[in-house]
Amino acid sequence: MNETTSMLTEHQIEIRVRYNETDSMGFVHHANYFTYFELGRTELLRASGGNYRRMEESGLLVVVVKASCKYQRPAKYDDLLTIKTKITRITAAKIEHEYQVFRGDEQLAQAQVTLAVVNRAGAVQRVPEWMAALVAQPTD
């Protein structure tokens, strides 16, 4: 992705809950929501023409530095979930996302994740220009 490419700030995907993602009560295990959020982030970038693999090949890594989730209702095996991902803030070295998980019109969870950009040695790096430009773009 280059500086002239416009990146989305919001995106949504659908995920069907698999049996192995549930606990003994038949609910999605709480830790699996963070896997769903990662899928949402990855697909947001991909839908914009970006690719985490290319970022990593260029020496930039994106790491989670803060994550929180409020669980409102349980998801169950075979539920069709919609994961809504939104970039809410970008600073020189961090990217903040918000997530909403829905089953139909019912909200099941909401979350926030903060990512930092680092090099392979773990030193903080600037967010790439094409991502930083999102701050100035209006969201619909």
C-alpha distance from residue 96 to each of 22, 27, 114 (Å)? 28, 28, 4
- Establish how many alpha carbons lie within 13 A of residue 23's alpha carbon, considering only the half-sphere containing its beta carbon: 10
Q: In whole angstroms, how far apart are CA 52 and each of 24, 69, 79, 90, 101? A: 34, 23, 28, 17, 23
Distance CA 10, CA 6 (A): 12
* 79: annotated active-site residue: no
Q: How far apart are CA 118 and CA 47, in angstroms?
A: 23
- Torsion sign over Cα 20, 26, 77, 31: negative
Catalytic residue among 23, 78, 105, 140: 23
Residue numbers annotated as active site: 23
